[in-house]
Each structure stands twice: as structure tokens, then as C-alpha cells.
Amino acid sequence: MTSPFRIAIAGLGTVGGGVVKALAARQDELSQRAGRPLLLTAVSARDRKKSRGFDIPGWSDDPLALAKGDADCVVELIGGDEGVARQLVETALANGKHVVTANKALLAKHGKALALLAEEKGVTLKFEAAAAGGIPIVKVLREDLIAHGVDAVKGILNGTCNFILTEMERSGRGFDDVLAEAQAKGYAEADPTLDVGGGDTAHKLALLASLAFGTAPALDAVSVEGITHISADDIAFASEFGFRIKLLGTARRVGDAIDQKVQPVLVRASSALASVSGAANGVLVDAGEAGQFFFSGRGAGEAPTASAVIADIVEAASGAPSPVFGRPAAGLTALRPADGKAAISPWYLRFEVLDVPGVLAAIAGNLAEAGVSIESMIQRGRAPGEPVAIVMITHETAQAQVERALKAIGASDKVRARPCMIPMEA
């Protein structure tokens, strides 16, 4: 009889609890798919006394003990790029145990070193749940879209931000108000900085770029901008032009370099990414001659993320180890960053200015001096003495030129707030 595949889980939060419940509810079917019995033998979490609504086998107060016990596979759901999570994964791999993790921060920072260790020990390191929740984008990039290579991958990778932007558009409310609602509903953390600041998306993008382009994860090469400065006016103006604002993580080839950006983008309302609403995620892959492929689904939460973890466990139990990032780790090249300032696109520009003669002419002069030409413009009146919003859409222009113009415009005492610039889909 085939020996059981023994599983130890560190971390019994939302995802860990979902994994335990799914293993118990569908053990026979999952074991058949794995080709051997799947047996949960040990767990570890912070609070042993907490009521969780399911049986807990083999409790350990020390998560590192899981990496030294008799488990064949350690599932790391603690989180964080250092500390116990890193020690657990490194120790488990060093002891010849398969590892399944949802820890995008750890892999974005230490991915190549961990991949080298896994391959040296002949074990699996899998992380489908680390990017886009239940969407199987890691497997797609690692195994399925390899015939013609990938030219670009871009996506909505953070459900918190997408919920906020969707609700701002639906209700017309401001960022702070909708963020408070997202926190009340459990979509946003008490400290939402990692989500709304773009850091969470950057971690996931670094992993997707590695899979797509054969480079070592390069988190420090990702340009990151969040959504905290997006106003209800920006959402409304974008709609008037036929666009929606989405926080996108984008990695694309530029010659022999890679441009990685996390930033708000105006996407056409008719596009696939614009249709991704609420807390959902969506990923668009340009696979060269094979064409474009679009994937969408729930990007977080118990069921979709636990589903991705379970799929990795079954694959680890049933198959021979494969390269962590789709290529032998020793062959992962150092990512050469592209000059992001040279990126060309149309731009959405918004200025809050005093409604006095000559302001518009001065803005137009600064833009012209920087080589930025205007395609269309909207100006809204306000009550006497209040700032007025001027919104412009530019022709395709390099980012550096637009930034140069806005620096000059922002220095004027007639401009009452920092000018807003957001790239647009061409």
C-alpha cells in the first residue's frame, strides 16, 4: 500500500482553518487525486485555547518543531518575510520536506535562495496561493504559457484596493469613507498600508515577473504607487472619459530589460480588467504569438486561498519535484530594470487651481515647454473663491516629460494641491 503523505500546518487563521476543514471534508477524493492517503498529522498556531470549530491533531506550541518532525510536507501560513516564517521554510527544506506556502512577502524577498535549497534537497516548494488567491496563475505561467514566452503580465492583484475603487465609483464617496467600510467588512486590515500603498501588489508582481521572464524575484526593482491620493472626482472624471481606475501590477519586456510597476491606471470601461469588480482579482497575460489570456476570480478569503493551498499539497504528494519558478533556480537571471520614466502612454492630469485669469494659459505653457500635448480637457466651476478642477487628457507622452511639466506647474501659488497624474490605456 502506498504510504500516507503526512502534512503539518503552521498557522490556523482564515486560510489555515480552511485547509484543515477541506482536508477533513474531502479526504477520500483528495487522496485519490494524490494517489496516496493525505494525512494531517501536526499543527501549530499562536493560541492553543482558541475555539476553531474543527478537530486539531498533533498540536505543537513550537512551529519550528513541524520542520523537524515526521511530516512529509510543511504548510507555512504564518506570513512575513523574516522571523519564524523564514526559519520554518528554510528548516523544512533543509530537512528534505516539501513546503507549500501562501507567503508572497517571503518569496518576493528570498525566492531564489529558497528555490536553490529546495532543488538541492530534491523537494517541492509551491506557492499558488501567494498570488491572486484562487486564480491558478502561478501554474499557468510556470507550465502552460511557455511555447512562445510572455511579453507582459498585468493584473488587479489586491482585492482590498479593488473593492475600494469599485465602491468609490458606485457610491461617489471618498477614499477615507470607503476604506472605513472595507475595514468594517473585513476586506481591509486595521493598518491598511500594505494594501492601499501598493506593497502587497508589489510582492505578488515580483513573483509573477519571475515566472514570466525567468528572472530572480526583484522586489526592489518594482516602482510602487498606491491609491490613497485617488479622489471621488478622479473616479467621476475617468467615467466621463469612458474609463475606470484600477490599481494594476504590470511587468513587461522592454528590449532586454523588464519594467515592473504598481500604480493606478485608467483602463477602458469596455476592457476585461475594467469588468473585475469588488474584491475580485484579474490577470491579463500577453503570451506573444499565442495571444492574450485573461483570468479572473476571487483573490482572497478562506475558500479560494485554501483551494490553492490544497491543490499544491495534492501536486506535491503525487508528482516529482519541479523547478520552483519554472526554470532551474541556478538559471534564474538577475532582472535588468527598464527605465520606467521612458514609458509612453496617454495621461490623465488633474489640477486644483484658483479660478483667476491666466492660470489655464500658464498650465498649457508649462505642458508645451515639456513637450506634452493635450487631447481633451474638462473644467468645472466652483463657488466663488474655491479652487476649480481642471482635467486634461494628453496624447501619448513619456512619463519623464509629464513629471517635468507637473513639477513646474505645482510650484505655482495658483495651484492649491499637488497635481494628479495617472497613466491611461492607449
Residue 272: per-residue pLDDT: 96
Q: What is the pLDDT of residues 49-65, one digit of tens each?
A: 777 677 778 788 899 99
Please check whether residue 123 is in contact with residue 90, taking contact to mean a CB–CB distance below 8 angstroms. no
Helix (H) or strand (E) segment spanning residue 74? strand 73-76
Region 17-30: mean pLDDT is 91
Give dist(CA 260, CA 411) in Å, integer: 29
Q: What grid cell was written down for 370?
A: 515639456
Nearest one of 288, 309, 334 to 153, comparing CA atoms: 288
Whether domain 137-298 has CATH 3.40.50.970 = no
Region 297-303: mean pLDDT is 81
353 secondary structure, DSSP code: E
Which residues make beta-bridge pairs with 294? 284
Q: What is the pLDDT of residues 179-201, one digit of tens each?
A: 999 998 888 888 999 999 999 99
Residue 196: per-residue pLDDT: 96
Region 242-259: mean pLDDT is 96
**3 state SS of 419:** coil
Percent of the chain with pLDDT over 90: 77
Residue 317 has pLDDT above 70, yes or no: yes
Give dist(CA 71, CA 53) in Å, integer: 24
- Give the list of residues 6+ apart from residue 324 with CB closer than 8 angstroms, or none: 111, 114, 115, 118, 119, 125, 126, 127
In the chain, which segments carry CATH 3.30.360.10? 137-298
Give dist(CA 78, CA 210) in Å, integer: 23
Residue 1 has pLDDT above 50, yes or no: no
In the chain, which segments carry CATH 3.40.50.720? 5-131+307-329
Cβ-based neighbour number of residue 330 at 10 Å:
11
Percent of the chain with pLDDT over 70: 98
CATH superfamily entry for domain 341-423: ACT domain (3.30.70.260)
DSSP string, 260-311: EEEEEEEEETTSTGGG--TTEEEEEEE-GGG-EEEEEEE-SSHHHHHHHHHH
Q: What grid cell was written down for 63?
A: 512551529
Region 207-233: mean pLDDT is 96
Please check whether residue 23 is in contact with residue 58, taking contact to mean a CB–CB distance below 8 angstroms. no
Average pLDDT of every residue of the chain: 92
Which of residues 55 and 370 earns the better pLDDT score?
Answer: 370
Q: Sorting pLDDT into bands at 50, 70 and 90, what band is 383?
A: low
In the chain, which segments carry CATH 3.30.70.260? 341-423
78 secondary structure, DSSP code: S
Residue 9: per-residue pLDDT: 96
Q: Is 79 left (phi over 0), alpha (psi -120 to 50) or beta?
A: left
Give dist(CA 351, CA 246) in Å, integer: 20
| Full-model pTM | 0.93
Residue 298 has pLDDT above 90, yes or no: no
Q: According to CATH, what is the number of the domain 5-131+307-329?
A: 3.40.50.720
Which residues make beta-bridge pairs with 40? 7
Q: Sorting pLDDT into bands at 50, 70 and 90, what band is 45?
A: confident
Catalytic residue among 126, 154, 204, 261: 204
- Give the list of residues 6+ apart from residue 259 with CB closer than 8 angstroms, or none: 250, 251, 252, 337, 338, 339, 340, 343
Q: Is 21 a catalytic residue?
A: no
Residue 385 has pLDDT above 70, yes or no: no
Q: What is the pLDDT of residues 206-218, one digit of tens each?
A: 999 999 999 999 9
- Interhelix angle 14-25/27-34, rounded to 10 degrees, is 90
